[in-house]
Chain A
């Protein structure tokens, strides 16, 4: 058993293993892929292109790469993470120890409570349900509403979530900081303020403001806040551009 001539494969149950050793005849992985048809062929071709593109870009690029590996995960990153984590979890624990939860009377289908409210983070949605006063009455239908106020409210929820969802497809380009895109930043501020005012609207029976005024404020305040932040950001942008220009001309003084 020890000499070299004896090492022909005696161990298989018989016959060939069916495993072909790679030699010149055996197609490589990429060749096997290249022979494919249809969609997998397209996938392969695209991947090859993409890989070549990456390669080219990397070769052309003057992008500076670090010659260090970055911060060591231990202890630097881990100590920081542990500190943040324990601070944060500690905060939750202190909150729960000092402000214990409430439990109401048992459910009773035959007595409707004065105030029905969800948790605070659903107030905005609840407020949108109370927008019935905006539901258009069509004179065409003889003052009838096209949909019930309830349907209108649910639709308002969908519209708001939908608008937030398509933001990346509306606002393109490489601007990131609020000063670089005053318009979108002020839209954001208006949105945040609206989420508060609409939340207040949802508890309107608890708010000592007259109803018509509250309805108006719900929509006016966000617009005002939006305009103010637009003005502020615009003027900040002037200062920002001034600094950039100054730096530029310091580096390359005009001849």
Chain B
């Protein structure tokens, strides 16, 4: 008796017997069978297929379609792109930000003239090829994102799209717009120029004025009661580590909910 396992369903032989297949098809099937044997992909494909058909096969006629209302508010529709534009601007900011991250170093340590962070920004702006443009791109996409998010919120408000069953997405949206602004604020501090420093000062004062836990918050977020090297380090980690993960996840959930619930239509 051989130790070789017997193949109940001899897919290999089946593949050999198919001489009508092109090279691409053969290669595809070989890879698929290899993976499936180890990972049972078939089951998951079935699940996906199921999902796909549930989502796409039978779309109920939309309200606008059913009552022939399309002509009445086509002029709202462009505004429905604002959420996607927020996402797009976020993606552009993420890519340009990652590239900026190759060259930027946080560091506000004492030196006679300027800090390490400031020198890195100077390097990016003056010496690095396209560095000027990269920083510009990052800033502009951030600004455009905030603008788009704000307008998106107005669109949702004025089309009454926050009503049942979409309250949760509205709340999630509030969190998102706040985090977007925190994103902007932490980024604003990174060049560690005069504007950054004094904006940091305002942030510290704001946290200090929270009753009871003010000092604790200032310590936690700013690492002290005046902007200092620890402040820059913390803003940096918030900006490039915490916020990207959190905001990306929340955007995914936000859009996932829109996908589940469908877009609200004006009645």
Which A residues are in CB contact (< 8 Å) with B122? Answer: 103
Contact at B61–A154, with CB atoms within 8 Å?
Answer: no
Beta-carbon contact of B264 and A121 below 8 Å: no
Q: List 30 A-B contacts (CB under 8 A).
A: A64-B60, A64-B61, A65-B60, A69-B57, A70-B56, A70-B59, A88-B88, A93-B137, A97-B136, A99-B140, A100-B133, A101-B139, A103-B125, A104-B193, A104-B196, A112-B198, A117-B195, A118-B188, A119-B146, A119-B185, A119-B188, A122-B185, A125-B181, A150-B208, A151-B211, A154-B209, A168-B166, A168-B170, A175-B160, A177-B266
Binding-face segment, A24-32, A45-53, A178-186, A218-226: A178-186
* Cβ contact within 8 Å between B146 and A121: yes
Question: With A117-B195, A181-B160 given, is the CB distance from A106 to B144 under 8 Å?
Answer: no
B17 within 8 A of A: no
Q: Does A37 lie at the interface of the complex (its beta carbon under 8 Å from any beta carbon of B)?
A: no
Q: In the complex, are the beta carbons of A178 and B196 less than 8 A apart?
A: no
Chain B hits for A113, CB < 8 A: 194-195, 198
A161 at the B interface (CB under 8 A) = yes
Contact at A96–B184, with CB atoms within 8 Å? Answer: no
Which of A97, A104, A121 lies in contact with B143, CB distance below 8 A?
A121
B119 CB, min distance to chain A CBs, angstroms: 9
| A119 in contact with B66 (CB, 8 Å) | no
Partner of B140, one of A92, A180, A181, A188: A92
Bound-state CA distance A151–B209 (Å) is 5
Q: Bound complex: CA of A122 vs CA of B185, how far in Å?
A: 8
CB-defined contacts of B146 to chain A, threshold 8 Å: 119, 121
Cβ < 8 Å to A, chain B residues 72-86: 73, 81, 84-85
Residues of A within 8 A of B160 (CB): 171, 175-177, 180-181, 184
CA of A106 to CA of B60 in the docked complex: distance in angstroms? 60
* Contact present for B154 and A188 (CB under 8 Å): yes
Instruction: Give me 5 other A-B pairs in contact (C-beta within 8 A), A100-B132, A109-B226, A116-B198 excluded.
Output: A92-B89, A121-B181, A125-B181, A175-B160, A177-B267
Residues of chain B lying within 8 A (CB to CB) of residue A11: 5
State how many angstroms separate the Cβ of A10 from the closest Cβ of chain B: 9
Chain A residues with CB under 8 A of B147 = 121
- Closest Cβ neighbor of B165 among chain A residues: A168
Look across to chain B and name the residue whose beta carbon is closest to the beta carbon of A150: B209
Contacts of B58 in A (CB 8 A): 65-66
Contact with A along B199-232 (1 / 0, CB 8 A): 1011001101111000000000000001100000
Instruction: Find the A residue at minimum CB distance from B5.
Output: A11
Q: List the B residue with the shortest CB-CB distance to A104.
A: B193
Closest A residue to B267 by beta carbon equals A176
CA distance A174 to B84 in the complex (A): 25
Most chain B Cβ neighbours within 10 Å, of A88, A96, A99, A173: A96
Complexed CA–CA distance, A154 and B195 (Å): 21
In the complex, A134 has a CB within 8 A of chain B: no
Question: Number of contacting residues on B, CB 8 A?
Answer: 80
Q: What residue of chain B has the Cβ atom nearest to residue A70's Cβ?
A: B59
Q: Which listed residue, B81, B137, B139, touches A84 by the CB 8 Å rule?
A: B81
Which residues in A have their C-beta under 8 angstroms from that of B104? Answer: none
CA A173 to CA B141, docked complex, whole Å: 37
Q: Contact check, B118 vs A116: say whether CB atoms are below 8 A apart.
A: no
Q: Residue A60 at the B interface, CB < 8 A?
A: no
Q: Is the CB of B88 within 8 A of A66?
A: no
Asked whether any CB of chain B lies closer than 8 Å to the CB of A76, the reply is no
Q: Which residues of A contact B121 (CB under 8 A)?
A: 103
* Chain A residues with CB under 8 A of B184: 119, 121-122
Closest chain A residue to B211, Cβ basis:
A151
Contacts of A105 in B (CB 8 A): 193-194
Q: Which stretch from B33-41, B107-115, B242-250 is at the chain A interface?
A: B107-115
Contact across chains for A107 and B192 when beta carbons are under 8 A apart: yes
Asked if A20 is at the interface of the complex by the 8 Å CB criterion, the answer is: no
Known: A103-B125, A147-B211, A176-B159. A108 touches B60 (CB 8 A): no
Min CB distance A181 to B, Å, is 7
Residues of chain A in range 124-172 having any CB-CB distance to chain B below 8 Å:
125-126, 129, 147-148, 150-151, 153-154, 161, 164-165, 167-169, 171-172
Q: How far is the CA of A125 from the CA of B267 in the complex (A)?
A: 34
Closest CB-CB distance, A125 to chain B, in whole Å?
8
A120, A167, A171: residue with the most chain B Cβ atoms closer than 10 Å: A167
Residues in A whose Cβ lies below 8 Å from that of B136? 96-97, 99-101
Q: Provide the B21-54 mask, 1 if CB < 8 A to any CB of A, else 0.
A: 0000000000000000000000000000000000
Q: Which residues of A contact B85 (CB under 8 A)?
A: 88
Residues of A within 8 Å of B158, CB to CB, are 178, 185, 188
Q: Which residues from A are CB-within-8-Å of B133?
A: 96-97, 100
The contact string, 1 if C-beta is below 8 Å from chain A, for chain B 153-164, is 010011111111
